[in-house]
């Protein structure tokens, strides 16, 4: 009942869900880097790379994921990654 009331309040007041800075489970961190690079962005990785990017997930894209919008000149996107720990 409370969940329905919360959903109804969102409809009545026109509240939209919060936008995510990172794509929602759209492959690996490598997939995200490849997509942004193909759009013309300079990509910087933020996080501990304890594994290949293909084994890592994206936890954030800053200043925001542009989706499919091509980059302007000299535009850098920071990709926050979380990689599995190594077993040395």
Per-residue pLDDT of the chain (88 residues; tens, 9 = 90+): 454 544 444 444 444 434 444 444 568 999 999 999 999 999 999 998 899 999 999 999 999 899 889 888 779 999 999 999 876 5
pTM for this prediction: 0.67
Residue 58 is predicted with a pLDDT of 95
Residue 10 is predicted with a pLDDT of 44
Q: Which of 26, 88, 63, 87 is nearest to 79 (CA)?
A: 63
Cβ atoms of 49 and 82 closer than 8 Å: no
82 DSSP 8-state letter = E
Residue 87 is predicted with a pLDDT of 60
């Amino acid at each position: 009942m409370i969940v329905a009331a919360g959903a109804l309040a969102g409809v009545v007041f026109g509240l939209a869900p919060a936008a995510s800075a990172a794509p929602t489970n759209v492959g690996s961190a490598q997939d995200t880097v490849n997509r942004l690079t193909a759009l013309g962005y300079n990509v910087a990785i933020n996080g501990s790379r304890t594994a290949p990017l293909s084994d890592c997930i994206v936890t954030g894209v800053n200043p925001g994921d542009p989706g499919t919008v091509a980059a302007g000149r000299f535009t850098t996107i920071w990709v926050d990654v979380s990689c599995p720990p190594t077993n040395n």
